[in-house]
Chain A
Amino acid sequence: MAKPTRVTNQIRRMRFEAGEMTQAALADLVGVTRQTIIAIERGRYSPSLDMAFKIARVFGVALDDVFGYRDD
Chain B
Amino acid sequence: MTFQEKSTWIMLALVAAVYGWYFAVVFGDIVTQEAPIRDIAYRGMMLGTVVVLTSLAAATHIVIAVASPKEANDFDERDRQINRFGEYVGGFVAAGAAFAGLGLAMFEVEHFWIANAILAGLVLSEVVSGVIKVVLYRRGL
Interfacial residues, chain A to chain B (CB-CB below 8 A):
2, 4-5, 31-33, 35-36, 39, 42-48, 50-51
Closest to A5 in B: B140
Closest to B3 in A: A33
Check A48/B77 contact, CB under 8 A, given A5-B140, A35-B1.
yes
- Minimum-distance CB pairs A-B, first 10: A44-B140, A2-B139, A32-B76, A2-B140, A36-B78, A33-B2, A35-B2, A33-B74, A45-B141, A36-B76
B96 to chain A, nearest CB (A): 28
Q: How many residues of B contact A (CB 8 A)?
A: 12
Chain A residues contacting B2 (CB-CB under 8 Å) are: 33, 35-36
Does B110 sit at the interface, judged by CB under 8 A? no
Interfacial residues, chain B to chain A (CB-CB below 8 A):
1-2, 5, 71, 74, 76-79, 139-141
A32–B140 touching, CB < 8 Å: no
Chain A residues contacting B71 (CB-CB under 8 Å) are: 33
A sample of 17 inter-chain contacts (CB < 8 A) reads A2-B140, A5-B140, A31-B76, A32-B76, A32-B77, A32-B78, A33-B76, A35-B1, A36-B2, A36-B77, A36-B79, A39-B141, A42-B140, A43-B140, A45-B78, A45-B140, A50-B77
